[in-house]
Amino acid sequence: MTPLLEVRDLVKQYPGVRAVDGVSFSIAEGQCFGLLGPNGAGKTTTVEMMEGVTQPTSGQVLYRGEPLGARFREDAGIQFQKTALQDFLTVRETLALFSGLYPRRRAVDELIRTCALEQVADRDNRKLSGGQMQRLLLAIALVNDPRVLFLDEPTTGLDPQARHNFWDLIRSIKAEGRTVLLTTHYMEEAYFLCDVIAIMDRGRVIAEGPPSRLLKEHFDDVVLELPREDFGDGPEGLPVPIVSANDRVEISTGDVEATLRLLLERGVPLRHLRIRPRNLEDLFLELTGRELRT
């Protein structure tokens, strides 16, 4: 079966920097695909090439097996990372403006209900809170009843309530059978929403697959967390792999009992011990490195 969206050897060269360096993947219909990576990894550039907003230097983007064309623009719903809207328009008028640009459209009232914008429908769009603005941008992305939805870091900067609220919205959109491409910094978000993720770094895809499979492939251990002061003269002399040693020391282990015995023998109190499974954040840091990018 032809994938809904396919990316082949996509390259974007900017003067002095190769933002995207040979990226290939495909997205099946109805899938939620997550694109993860540190800042500057090339996520947004990749997504914009897939949206047809940026021209690739080389490589191809195929929608239903064909290069992007009029059909794609009618089928795609797009939420940019940052979008300025026209000033002096209310939420309702803004939605009417965008829906007027498409041949196939959803009723504005229905969009307002779907995205929980009833209370601000007649408010100037410059006077919305962060969460309301993201819901309006999502509603704009939905005006043409899209088959495929692009969401570029839709929850960056939102508070936890607004974020969870947004996730519920995306899940309901997914349940309607729409395909979603999501970029995010939040591993929790990717884990919660995505069927498949691809992790990008320095313009390349360095891992791809369902989140649970990726975790299983890369980790067969759990993490023990203890505060540093509980170690007395520091954890460095212990014969165990240490993942991170800041205020909280993280020890990776495949044999929890043996490691705990070792810690008890060394007189480390276990009162503050936390044991957690490996998560996407560990995977992300493992694959992209822990040092700060400049």
Give the interface with another protein as residue ranges (CB under 8 A): 51-53, 70, 73-74, 76, 78, 80, 82-86, 98, 101-103, 140, 144
* Closer to another protein by Cβ: residue 73 or 202: 73
Question: d(Cα 80, Cα 276) in Å, to the nearest integer?
Answer: 35
Report the nearest approach of another protein to the CB of residue 10 (Å): 18
198 close to 207: Cβ distance less than 8 angstroms: yes
Report the nearest approach of another protein to the CB of residue 87 (Å): 9
**Stretch (H or E) spanning 262:** helix 256-265
* Closer to another protein by Cβ: residue 5 or 140: 140
Task: For tokens 């570029």, name the residue.
Answer: 152
* Closer to another protein by Cβ: residue 1 or 70: 70
b/e 245-273 (16+ beta carbons within 10 angstroms → b): eeeebbbbbeeeeebbebbeeeebeeeee
* Closer to another protein by Cβ: residue 53 or 258: 53
Report the nearest approach of another protein to the CB of residue 236 (Å): 48
* Closer to another protein by Cβ: residue 53 or 270: 53
Supply 102's token pair. 């498409």
Report the nearest approach of another protein to the CB of residue 64 (Å): 17
**Backbone CA torsion sign across 171, 172, 178, 183:** negative
Report the nearest approach of another protein to the CB of residue 140 (Å): 8
135 close to 167: Cβ distance less than 8 angstroms: no
Nearest to 146 by CA among 100, 120, 179: 179
HSE-CB at 50 with a 13 A cutoff on CA atoms is 37
* Closer to another protein by Cβ: residue 52 or 269: 52
Report the nearest approach of another protein to the CB of residue 78 (Å): 4
